[in-house]
Amino acid sequence: MNLSQETIYHLIDAAIEARKKAYTPYSSYQVGAAVLTEDNQIITGANVKGGSFNLICCGERMALLKALFDGHRKFKAVVTVTNDGATPCGSCRQVIYELCQKAPIIVANIDRSYKIYNAQDLLPHAFEDPKTKSNTK
């Protein structure tokens, strides 16, 4: 899917705003995310990291889970914003692979510079259950 520069920056700005809502009292590492749904709604999320680091929700999964809860099943883009432009963690990559195989994954930092990936770039050997198929294939 080709996105306009204007749309990309609009999504990055939404993720930057979402990042401000992150709950990271111990790590101070904030992640904001935005997903663009098939009907052009923008759903955002931010990471929640408490004292037990295995009981967290990353920003990317937060945004996608909110979108799923609201009934969205197809996505045009996923954006993640960190202070250093880090790519999503392994768990987020798997969720992105399952839900957003055809959507561009835009990884940005807070100065709005970005790189565009696809799900296969980020997780070339993703788990796939042969009995099920991604809703974006």
Is residue 60 part of the annotated active site? The answer reads yes
Which residue of the set 38, 60, 98, 128 is catalytic?
A: 60
Dist CA 91 CA 51 (whole Å): 19
H or E segment and range at residue 87: none
CA 113 to CA 9: how far, in whole Å? Answer: 9
Burial class (CB in 10 A: 0-12, 13-18, 19+), 66: middle
Q: How far from 18 is each of 42, 89, 130, 136, CA to CA, in Å?
A: 11, 18, 35, 25
Known catalytic residues?
60
